[in-house]
Amino acid sequence: MQVADSIAPVGACFDHGAVISAQNGLGSEEIIAARTRGYVIRGTTFMSGTRHSDTHVQYELDTATWIGPFEPRGTPYAVVKEAAELIIAGGLKAEALQDARPAQWSKLIFNASVNGVSALTGLPHSPHFADESQFSDLGHLLHDLIDEGKRVAEAVGVHLYEDPWEMNQIGAMTNHPPSMLYDVRHQLPTEVYFLSGAIAREAQRAGVAAPLHTAVYRLIKAKEASWTFKDENRAAAHREKA
């Protein structure tokens, strides 16, 4: 949510360099590219951790960050490879890709499905998200959301790099609280616009249906509105009493 505010004061510093965007969802690269003349690298990461305090972060998934050229900026693949090598030299994992969109969409579909359901149910990314043994189990909804996301990806010409359902099954073993769950718990603006909102908009542009992600997007936006609505109602009631 803070990409524009973060890059605006320093964008000129990268006019002769490169910036990696590894934010969730779709749209961050465009925001960065509008604020620097430097190269922009499209990226996505599956690493995750839980912050317990300022000095204690529980590292949960030790996986690669996938990066590739941001096509509209004409970023050379050699720059992407150099960036990947720097990340690896720093002790983390990275993979340079000629085209990072399939990886980005894999994470988008996984993340939109998991984050949205977590924000609406209050559950962390737990085994509930992969369980399909009973008719009432949450895994059925996750599977449907992921399948819908796959159909949208195919409609826009993206062939996924990894299977989002398999990513969900791995993540469901961690009991990790997704970022959007944290936002809802603290009544903060969520990133749903860039997740389920992005899938819904891409589906509309491609002329395909995405009713589940559209519903998740609208429900979470309504949940955000409810926080202000409650405050406004309290203020109105206070004025009436006064």
Give me the CATH number covering residue 42: 3.40.50.720
> 172 and 64 in one domain?
no
Give yes or no for a contact between 119 and 220, defined as CB atoms under 8 angstroms apart: yes
> 118 and 40 in one domain?
no
Query: Domain end: 99, 120, 135, which one?
Result: 99
Query: Domain end: 56, 79, 99, which one?
Result: 99
CATH number at residue 226: 1.10.1040.10
pLDDT tens sequence for the chain (242 residues) = 889 999 999 999 999 999 999 988 999 999 999 999 999 999 998 777 778 899 998 887 788 899 999 999 999 999 999 999 999 999 999 999 999 999 999 999 999 999 999 999 999 999 999 999 999 999 999 999 999 999 999 999 999 999 999 999 998 998 988 999 999 999 999 999 999 999 999 999 999 999 999 999 999 999 999 998 866 666 666 666 66
Q: What was the pLDDT predicted at 168? A: 95
Point out which residues pair with 39 in neighbouring strands: 18
pTM for the model stands at: 0.87
What domain range includes position 43? 1-99
Residues 6+ apart with CB under 8 A from 56: none
For residues 162 and 168, give the distance between their C-alpha atoms in angstroms, rounded to a whole number.
11
Are β-strands 18-21 and 39-45 bridged in parallel, bridged antiparallel, or unpaired?
A: parallel
> 78 and 124 in one domain?
no
Amino acid making up residue 140: H
> 62 and 115 in one domain?
no
Which region holds residue 51: left if phi is over 0, alpha if psi is between -120 and 50, else beta? beta
> 116 and 90 in one domain?
no
- C-beta pairs of 6-13 under 8 Å, 24+ apart in sequence: 7/31, 7/32, 7/35, 7/36, 8/35, 11/35, 11/36, 12/36, 12/37
> 56 and 106 in one domain?
no
> 95 and 12 in one domain?
yes
Q: What was the pLDDT predicted at 238? A: 62
Query: Domain end: 99, 132, 164, which one?
Result: 99
> 85 and 125 in one domain?
no
> 89 and 132 in one domain?
no
Structural domain count of the chain:
2
> 161 and 62 in one domain?
no
> 237 and 125 in one domain?
yes
For residues 94 and 80, give the distance between their C-alpha atoms in angstroms, rounded to a whole number.
10
> 152 and 71 in one domain?
no
